[in-house]
Amino acid sequence: MKREIPIAMTMLAGLIVTAAFFSKAPWLQAANAELLSWALIFFSVAFLLGIGNLFRINLKQIAMRHPDWPYKAILLITLSGYLILGLLEIEGFIVYGDGSLGNKVYQDWIHGAVFKPLQATMFSLLAFYIASAAFRAFRARSFEATLLLGAGAVVMLAQVPLPIPGGSAIGSIVQPMQHFLMAFVNTAGQKAIIMGAALGVLATGLRIVLGIERSYLSE
């Protein structure tokens, strides 16, 4: 019964949510809203369990003086600071000059002075990895690689003109080609990937609803 009851509950919930998507019956919509509310509660509990597990693992490694324990300490301190500020704002312990609460601390200091510089640093470092990967990928060793190299060159020349005399003219020439690649070839590829991902999600959902996929039971 330890497996049958969770599987039956999962199947029932999945069938109700699916039926509510196609039917406007009041009782189905009410049941769907109730299930979504419970899902939000479960997500919140799982989030708290994740935070607790993060503290448990990192505190243990800090106590054992893991080689990168200072970074783990910074992670826990930052996480605790975020939580404390958020809880204080929610409970009304932080009141600003204009009498408002909101998330002004996050927007004005944490986001602007901490998050944005770190994000810019990560993306600036990522640019070197992208350039290295592009150098290895854009080698005309096959017909497909040659097409990739040509398409990448066209897109880059249209976006960033060459710093040489006549570079802007070259950019204006390749811009129609870049528009064709982005509007038709790239869009077609994106739609194919999205359709494939949607079919995969649908297949996985059906396997869970029908009780075939039992990974959530640690099987």
For residues 171-180, give the mean pLDDT: 82
Is residue 35 a part of any domain in this protein?
no
Reduced to 3 states, what is the DSSP secondary structure of residue 114?
helix
Q: How confident is residue 218, by pLDDT bands cut at 50, 70 and 90?
A: low
How many independent structural domains does the chain possess?
A: 1
* pLDDT score at 12: 87
Is residue 34 a part of any domain in this protein?
no
Q: How confident is residue 20, by pLDDT bands cut at 50, 70 and 90?
A: confident
Is residue 199 a part of any domain in this protein?
yes
Is residue 126 a part of any domain in this protein?
no
Q: How confident is residue 99, by pLDDT bands cut at 50, 70 and 90?
A: very low
The rounded mean pLDDT for the chain is: 80
Is residue 134 a part of any domain in this protein?
no
Q: How confident is residue 143, by pLDDT bands cut at 50, 70 and 90?
A: confident
Pairwise CA distance, residues 7 & 216, whole Å? 10
* pLDDT score at 115: 79
Ramachandran bin of 42, using left for φ above 0, alpha for ψ from -120 to 50, beta for the remaining angles: alpha
Is residue 182 a part of any domain in this protein?
yes
Pairwise CA distance, residues 129 & 89, whole Å? 40
pLDDT above 60 (res 100): no
Is residue 145 a part of any domain in this protein?
yes
* pLDDT score at 190: 92
Q: Which amino acid is at 154?
A: V
pLDDT above 60 (res 97): no
- Residue 164: give the domain boundaries: 140-210
CB 2 within 8 A of CB 209: no
* pLDDT score at 171: 67
pLDDT in tens, 127-138: 778 777 777 766
Give which of 40, 32, 76, 80 is closest to 58, Cα–Cα.
76
pLDDT above 70 (res 161): no
Is residue 102 a part of any domain in this protein?
no
* pLDDT score at 151: 82
